[in-house]
């Protein structure tokens, strides 16, 4: 099923909103190549890249864990990256570092053809003792310096975290976005979509949701509360991935915007402002606008500017005179549907246009 999700990370087109997450000693280029038909990102590693983390990886290997310990790290990574790119997947390298300079030096060697993922996720004690993995979640100032070191090198940066370890995941996500991180990859092991929504409402950072998301129902729940992608690790087998891809692609064909949020009045995240009507009655919209220091009139102006020159500017016979104020396609509304028919707009196209409105609103809110 050939589906265009219109998905980009920076300037890199990503063919599906499904990623394979790294598993130490398992995910290499060959592993990703064998699953390439159904995934958009292939995250390999984690790779220890300096003396303290290599020492920690050796300790873990001696304890029976599989670890990547290549003789020549740069040459090995170049080969793995080439293998993944040849398979049509965007390569991501998950890295364990003990200092910011190690990340910057590696980025200078490998360039911007790959996304760099800082491993702030590993909970193995030797890696924590090496000032990597979960150490970074307890020392966010160090993690921020790692992000900044990679951004100085001019590359795309992902940060892999485990939810609930940092003092405040929401504040950490905001700080990482401000520091220039492009992706936040969140292991939601002990958390659900409500935690994800809190993070989504803090910044426009690209979010990958991870852990136990092996069915379309779970994927849809994550998409509806802020995830741009989902990732799988232990269950990243061909059957699971192909089923997920087929169901997400079918949903996208029918509804357009593949990760459309729930409506705000039904618990949706900040992106759902694209579906809100005029702020003229008591509802969740008013306190949300107040939270972001947006007046009702400013909101009306923002929406009308976002829809100017687009087909959603039409809809004179809808509740508020424009499709910009109309609700999600899955909510029954005869006025919206009549306006869409009159304008010759399919519902899937309508939702794609709503997605563009959402992007414009978020750009203004988080400018």
Residue 2 within a domain: no
- Pair (280, 207) in one structural domain: no
- Pair (95, 216) in one structural domain: yes
- Pair (269, 250) in one structural domain: no
How many independent structural domains does the chain possess? 2
- Pair (140, 196) in one structural domain: yes
Out of 194, 223, 255, a domain closes at: 255
Q: Is 316 exposed, middle or buried (0-12, 13-18, 19+ CB in 10 A)?
A: exposed
Residue 176 within a domain: yes
- Pair (102, 149) in one structural domain: yes
167 DSSP 8-state letter: S
Q: Cα(180)–Cα(168) distance, rounded to whole angstroms?
A: 19
Q: What is the mean pLDDT of the chain?
A: 96
pLDDT digit string, tens, across residues 235-281: 999 999 999 999 999 999 999 999 999 999 999 999 999 999 999 88
Strand partners, 186: 161, 209
| 3 confidence band (pLDDT: 50, 70, 90) | confident
Out of 255, 274, 297, a domain closes at: 255
Query: Ramachandran region of residue 344, left (φ > 0), alpha (ψ -120 to 50) or beta?
Result: left
Q: Which domain holds residue 158?
A: 7-255
Q: Cα(184)–Cα(159) distance, rounded to whole angstroms?
A: 5
Please say whether the beta carbons of 43 and 94 come within 8 A. yes
- Pair (133, 51) in one structural domain: yes
Please say whether the beta carbons of 196 and 170 come within 8 A. no
- Pair (99, 217) in one structural domain: yes
The pTM of the full predicted model, rounded to 2 decimals, is: 0.96
Residue 1 within a domain: no
pLDDT for 124 equals 97
Q: What is the CATH number of the domain that holds 228?
A: 3.20.20.70
Out of 209, 230, 255, a domain closes at: 255
pLDDT digit string, tens, across residues 52-95: 999 999 999 999 999 999 999 999 999 999 999 999 999 999 99
Residue 296 within a domain: yes
- Pair (236, 289) in one structural domain: no
């Amino acid at each position: 099923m050939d589906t265009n999700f219109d998905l980009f990370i920076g300037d890199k087109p990503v063919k599906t909103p499904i990623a394979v997450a790294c598993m130490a000693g398992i995910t290499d280029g060959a592993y990703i190549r064998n699953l390439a038909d159904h995934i958009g990102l292939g995250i390999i590693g984690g790779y220890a890249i300096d003396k303290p983390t290599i020492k920690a990886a050796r300790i873990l290997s001696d304890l029976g864990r599989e670890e990547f310990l290549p003789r020549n790290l740069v040459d090995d990574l170049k080969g793995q990256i080439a293998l993944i790119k040849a398979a049509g997947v965007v390569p991501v390298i998950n890295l364990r570092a003990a200092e910011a300079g190690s990340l910057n030096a590696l980025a200078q060697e490998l360039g911007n053809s790959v996304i760099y993922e800082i491993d702030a996720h590993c909970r193995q004690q030797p890696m924590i003792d090496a000032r990597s993995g979960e150490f970074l979640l307890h020392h966010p100032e160090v993690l921020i310096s790692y992000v900044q070191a990679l951004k100085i090198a001019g590359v795309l940066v992902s940060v892999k975290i485990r939810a609930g370890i940092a003092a405040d995941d929401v504040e950490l996500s905001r700080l990482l976005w401000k520091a220039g991180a492009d992706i936040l990859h969140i292991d939601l092991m002990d958390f659900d979509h409500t935690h994800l929504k809190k993070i989504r409402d803090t910044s426009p950072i690209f979010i990958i949701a991870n852990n136990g998301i092996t069915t379309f129902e779970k994927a849809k729940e994550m998409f509806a509360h802020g995830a741009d992608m989902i990732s799988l690790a232990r269950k990243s087998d061909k059957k699971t991935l192909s089923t997920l891809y087929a169901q997400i692609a079918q949903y996208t064909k029918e509804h357009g915007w593949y990760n459309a949020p729930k409506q705000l009045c039904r618990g949706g995240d900040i992106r759902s402002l694209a579906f809100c009507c005029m702020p003229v009655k008591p509802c969740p919209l008013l306190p949300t606008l107040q939270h972001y220091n947006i007046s009702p009139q400013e909101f009306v102006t923002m929406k009308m500017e976002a829809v100017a020159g687009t087909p959603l500017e039409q809809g004179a016979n809808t509740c508020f005179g424009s499709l910009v104020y109309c609700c999600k396609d899955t909510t029954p509304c005869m006025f919206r549907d009549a306006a869409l028919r009159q304008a010759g707009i399919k519902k899937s196209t309508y939702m794609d246009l709503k997605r563009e409105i959402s992007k414009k609103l978020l750009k203004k809110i988080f400018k």
